[in-house]
Amino acid sequence: MKSAKRNPAGLRLAERLSLSVDNRSGDAAVPSRADFVRWARAALLPPVRSAEVSLTLVGEEEGRTLNRDYRGKDYATNVLSFALNEGGELVPGLPLVGDIVFATGVVAREAAEQGKTLAAHYAHLTVHGMLHLQGYDHLEDDDADEMEALESAILARLGYANPYAEEAV
């Protein structure tokens, strides 16, 4: 994890969240902006006091291109996160700024394969992406454990099941 440790309970909501949603995928089966706002706000942890985030929904080909260009992986992935301060520390007092991109076809396929509702999977991926914007990652086992625990706690507060529960069995 690149950022300082934060209150894992995330009890305080950010004071301001500016969230734009751009559906370039042509897929009508996507959550409402209000849902995305609720999920994103729940994932903002101290010291973040405000955030400016754009969510973009794209088709699989655009998702594949972005994943190839920015991560060197030639396939469409479910979600990509791009923080303005990528690799840097969060600066107290400054807003969190970043972009989250969903490949809607991948998200829908995964939800069906995992037996989840589309809303539950988008909620999970929104929380996951927001944590990445705040410097969390899952490259090392300890960091992955911390990030998954935060995701599970945030999703539980939102009324969703632990997305990692089946992996633990």
Q: What pTM did the predictor assign?
A: 0.88
pLDDT, position 14 = 56
Question: How many other CB atoms are found less than 10 A from the CB of residue 62?
Answer: 16
Render pLDDT for 87-134 as a digit per residue (tens, 0 to 9).
Answer: 777 777 889 999 999 999 999 999 999 999 999 999 999 999 999 999
The sheet with strand 50-58 has its strands ordered as 16-23, 50-58, 96-103, 79-83
- Whether the per-residue pLDDT at 3 is higher than 50: the answer is no
Place of tokens 């990652």: 137
Place of tokens 């999977």: 121
Residue 124 assigned as binding residue = no
Task: Write down the CATH superfamily of domain 16-159.
Answer: Metalloproteases ("zincins"), catalytic domain (3.40.390.30)
Residue 121 assigned as binding residue = no
CA distance 46 to 130: 13
pLDDT, position 85 = 84
Residue 128 assigned as binding residue = yes
CA distance 25 to 145: 32
* 92 vs 143, more confident: 143
Render pLDDT for 16-60 as a digit per residue (tens, 0 to 9).
Answer: 999 999 999 999 999 999 999 999 999 999 888 899 999 999 999
- Whether the per-residue pLDDT at 11 is higher than 80: the answer is no
pLDDT, position 89 = 79
- Whether the per-residue pLDDT at 167 is higher than 80: the answer is no
- Whether the per-residue pLDDT at 1 is higher than 80: the answer is no
